[in-house]
Structure formats: structure tokens, C-alpha cells
Amino acid sequence: MRIGVILRPALVLLLLALVLKPAWFAPVFAPLVPEGTPVIYARSSLLSLSLSHLGLVAAATTAATLVAVTLAILVTRQAGEAFRPLSRTITNLGQTFPPVAVLALAVPALGFGAGPTLVALFLYGLLPIFENAVTGLSTLPPTTMEAARGIGLNRWQRLVQVEVPLALPVMLTGIRLSVVISLGTATIGSTVAARTLGEVIIAGLLTSNTAYVVQGGLIVGLFAVLIYDALVQLEAHLVRRAGG
């Protein structure tokens, strides 16, 4: 706990510096490359790449959350129970496909750019969110559900006021997993010309510039760690509030 108090702001500052003032790190990265090669990626601004990267992840995760949670709600209703195995198969399929294959298959249909990456991230993110939402919604305390019905909440009120709030921490765990997977996976989107931090890494790989690779990798890694940590805090807060 105490280590987090110091480490968390330190990592945030490090990340901000890497993104906003990359030039500061030139002396650090210089030993990684032969003399004369550029040390700091300058073909486009790291800030705009970061924002675009995060934007893609946010858009894909939001869409995946909406679809997966809606699906989970439907299959945990009595009428939708029969569809649970089918929807599980579909979401599983989304994760079985390697994202690279999805990218390759989506390019002919959607062209180069952000489109194929969004599709890949969306499909890849469905499964953890769906599985966790189903678990959360089907393991609610039975006496609470019985009481909710017994005091006169209708189906919709039970869903909105009781089931979703109680399942929220478990759902959030799924979203967290999905976000972290997407943050990493988004980097390969740059192979089909999506603007992500993968651009820096790929540029490094193509020109054997280790400094670029480390720079891009470090930024993506820090984003993943910090966002993961923030979501863990949020879950803990929700669980505390629910008296769990």
C-alpha cells in the first residue's frame, strides 16, 4: 500500500514526461543505438499517437462492453437461458481468432486505417467482458433477489436497481482484462496504418532502432499498468460500497 503511494505518482510523471517531453530522454536511450542514428521518434508527435491509441482502445472496449453486457443480460433472463451456450460459443470464437488474422481479413472490406483495428479489438475484447458479466449476474445473493421480487420491484427495476449494481464489480474485472489486452493488441494495428503507439515500435523494428522499440514499448506498458491499477481501485471502491 505504502509503496503504491510513492510509485503511482512517480509512474504517472514518468509517463507524462515520455509522452510530452521525449527529448529529455535522449541521453538515456542514446547507448541503445549506433552513433548518428536518431534516438527519439520524431515523425509524428507521441502525444497525438497516444491519444489516438487510447481513443481506439476506448471506442473498441465501449462497443464490446455494450454488446457483451447486453448479451449477458439477455442470456441470464429466464427466456434467454437457452441461448447461453450459443452466445458463449460466439464470444469464444472472437477470442480464438488471432488479431493479426482479423486485421488481414478486415483490410479488404474496411480498407487501411483505424477500421480493421477497431474490429479486431472489439472481437478480442468481447469474451472476458461477457464471461464476467454472466458470472456476476448469475451469482447474485438469492435472498436479496427473492426480497427484491417480494417487495414489488418489477423486472426492469430489479435489473437496474439490484442486479446490475451488484454484478458491477465482477463486470468491471472483465472490462479491465479487456482494456489491458486491447492496449497491447492495438500496437499491431499500425501494420495496417492505424495511428497507434505501435507506429513507434514498428518503425524501430524496420530500421533496427532499439531506442524506438524501447520508447514505444515503455509508453504502452506504462499506460497498461496505470489504467489497470486505476480500474482495480475503482472495483475495490465499488466492492467496499456494496459491503462485500
Comparison of 131 and 163: residue with beta carbon closer to another protein: 163
Tell me the closest approach of the beta carbon of residue 241 to another protein, in angstroms: 6
Closest CB to another protein among residues 34, 150: 150
Judged by beta carbon, residue 162 or residue 170, the one nearer another protein is: 162
CB of 150 to another protein, least distance (A): 4
Q: Residues with Cβ < 8 Å from 106, sequence gap 6 or more? A: 115, 116, 119, 120
For residue 8, give Cα distances in angstroms to 215, 230, 237: 20, 10, 17
CB of 153 to another protein, least distance (A): 7
Give the nearer residue to another protein in terms of CB position, either 77 or 149.
149
Of 145 and 218, which CB lies nearer to another protein in the complex structure? 145
Distance in Å, CB of 78 to another protein, minimum: 15
CB closer to another protein, 167 vs 179:
167
Shortest distance (Å) from residue 21 CB to another protein: 44
**Site residues for another protein per CB under 8 A:** 141, 143-154, 157, 161-162, 165-166, 241-244
* CB of residue 165 to another protein, shortest distance in Å: 5
Reduce the secondary structure of the chain to three states and give it as a string: CHHHHHHHHHHHHHHHHHHHCHHHHHHHHHHHCCCCCCCCCCCCCHHHHHHHHHHHHHHHHHHHHHHHHHHHHHHCCCCCHHHHHHHHHHHHHHHHCCHHHHHHHHHHHHCCCHHHHHHHHHHHHHHHHHHHHHHHHHCCCHHHHHHHHHCCCCHHHHHHHHHHHHHHHHHHHHHHHHHHHHHHHHHHHHHHCCCCCHHHHHHHHHCCCHHHHHHHHHHHHHHHHHHHHHHHHHHHHHHHHCCC
